[in-house]
Amino acid sequence: MKATKAANLTPEVRERISKAQLGKRRTPEQRAAHSIALMGRVCSEETKRKIGEANRGRVVSEEAREKIRIARASQVITDETRAKLSAVAKGRAPSSQCLAASLAATLGRKASDETKAKQRAAKLGRTLSEEHRAALSAAKKLSWAQRNILQPNR
C-alpha cells in the first residue's frame, strides 16, 4: 500500500487492517525487500526521540542477550575500523556525569593482597622515559583536579 493511499484511510479502516496483519510473520524475502526499501532513509530528530522513548526502560530477555552476545562474538573488527574508533575516542573527553559515575564505582574499593602482588610483578623492572613520566604526572594532576571539582570536601 502506498503512503499516499494510507493517508486517506479512516481510523476504522486502519484499525481493521492492523488487526488483519496482527500475528502474521513476514517471509525472509519480504523482510529483505522491506530492508532495501528503508535503506538510506534518514529519521528526523523528532522520530529519533520517539524511537528512544519507546525503547527506554525496555527489558531484554536472557535469551535475547545470549543471541546478541553470540552475534557480537562472531563479528570481526578490521584494523582500519579499530583505527577509526580509536581516533574518535581520543578526541572525546568524558562528561562530568561519566567521571562522577566512574569515581563512585571505584571510590573506597581496596585491592586484595593477591591483586597488589600481581600489579607489582607486572611493573617490576620497567623503566619509564622522562617524557612518559611527565605525561603520567600531568594526567594524575588532571585526575586530582577533576576529583576536587566533583567532590570539593574531600
What digits encode the pLDDT tens for the residues 40-66? 999 999 999 999 999 999 999 999 999
Residue 52 CA to residue 42 CA, distance in Å, equals 15
Assess whether pLDDT exceeds 70 at residue 150. no
Structure confidence by residue, pLDDT tens digits, 18-41:
999 998 999 999 999 999 999 999
Instruction: Indicate if the pLDDT at residue 3 is higher than 60.
Output: no
Q: Write down the pTM of the prediction.
A: 0.35
Nearest to 144 by CA among 103, 97, 88, 94: 103
Q: Is residue 124 part of a domain?
A: no
The structural domain count of the chain equals 1
Q: What is the DSSP string of 39-79?
A: TT----HHHHHHHHHHHTTPPPPHHHHHHHHHHHHT----H
In a domain, 73, yes or no: yes
Is the residue at 41 inside a domain?
no
In a domain, 17, yes or no: no
Is residue 66 a part of any domain in this protein? yes
Q: Is 5 a domain residue?
A: no
62, 112 Cβ separation under 8 angstroms? no
Mean pLDDT of 4-17: 84
pLDDT at 43: 92
**Cell numbers found for residue 102:** 566512574
Q: What is the pLDDT of residues 77-132, one digit of tens each?
A: 999 999 999 999 887 888 888 888 988 888 888 999 999 999 999 999 889 999 99
- Looking at the domain assignment, is residue 37 inside a domain? no
Residue 130 within any structural domain of the chain: no
Please tell me whether residue 125 adopts helix, strand or coil conformation: coil
Q: Which domain holds residue 75?
A: 62-88
